[in-house]
Amino acid sequence: MNEMTRLDISLNGEAIQTDAPTLQALLLARGYQLQGAFACAINNSFVPRPQWPERVLNNGDRIDIVTPITGG
Q: Above 60 in pLDDT, residue 58?
A: yes
On whether the CB atoms of residues 63 and 11 are closer than 8 A, the answer is yes
- Identify which of 22, 26, 2 has the alpha carbon closest to the alpha carbon of residue 12: 26
Residue range 8-56, pLDDT digits in tens? 999 999 999 999 999 999 999 999 999 989 999 999 999 999 999 999 9
For the 7-66 domain, the top CATH level (class) is: alpha beta
β-sheet bridge partners, residue 18 = 7
Q: How far apart are CA 1 and CA 14, in angstroms?
A: 31
